[in-house]
Each structure stands twice: as structure tokens, then as C-alpha cells.
Amino acid sequence: MQKRRDFMLSLLLGAQTLLQAESVNLQQLEGDWHLRVMDGKEVRKARAILDFKPEKMLLEGFDGCNRISGKLIAVGNGTYKSKLMTTRMACRETIHQYVSSRLHETIREGFTIEKGKRYGIIGITLKGKKHKLFFKRMGK
């Protein structure tokens, strides 16, 4: 029984350390981020980009079909959301519609941000209630 308790305690402490290492200060996100992977699916062809402007608490970019912008709202526990404004252009291909709808859903419902290395690339993951979006900083 003691071994099991010690094992569980070490797992909890390890998880806490890992979470602390992955926390992201919004100021570190200044700039453009290219969406690479969504829910495990390669989506670079959609060319979705988020541009974080933390000093103004703004989020701008391109969702694969339309320009987007909105005010970032901190809702607590490192969670953010935004009601995005968007242009109304038609999506050219299925991949664009796939990315656009899930990106909007994730940002509308709220997301956390984790920094880390995935797929051999250093970037950030936006984790929503239903979706995980992995972005790579552009130009680096």
C-alpha cells in the first residue's frame, strides 16, 4: 500500500512540474503563428494564421477562408476566448472549411495555451473543449 501511495505521489508531483514548465505568458506569443496540425491532422495547406497582439489583448489572422479579428478575453486559469469578427468569403476547398469551423469553435468556446515541442517542432498548442491546434511561430 505504501509503494502505491508513493508512486501516485511521484506521478502527481511530476505532472505538476510538467504543467508548470509548459505554461505560457501571453506576452511571449507576440507575432504570427501558422497552424500546422489540428486534432492530429496535418492542415498546413489551409494556411491559417493567428497574430497575437498581447499589449492590446487582440487576436487577428486568417482562418483558411477569411480574415479574422477579436478581443482576447481572459476567463481565468490561463483560459482565453474571443468573439471573432470575420470577412465573409467562401472557402475554396474542404480543408479550408474544416480548419475554419474548428478554429472558430475553439476560440469561441475558450482555450488554454501550452508551449512545447511536437512533431519535432517547437510551438504552441491551443487546447479547447473539443480540439487541439498546434501552431509554429512564423519566421523562425
pTM: 0.81
Q: How many domains does the chain have?
A: 1
Q: Which domain holds residue 89?
A: 25-137
Does residue 18 form part of some domain? no
59-73 pLDDT, tens digit per residue, is: 999 999 999 999 999
79-92 pLDDT, tens digit per residue, is: 999 999 999 898 98
Does residue 9 form part of some domain? no
Cα 49–Cα 135–Cα 81 angle in degrees, nearest 5: 75
C-alpha cell at 32: 504570427
**What CATH number is associated with residue 60?**
2.40.128.270
C-alpha cell at 80: 482565453
Does residue 13 form part of some domain? no
Does residue 17 form part of some domain? no
Does residue 4 form part of some domain? no
Does residue 84 form part of some domain? yes
The Cβ of residue 93 has, within 10 Å, a number of other Cβ atoms equal to 12
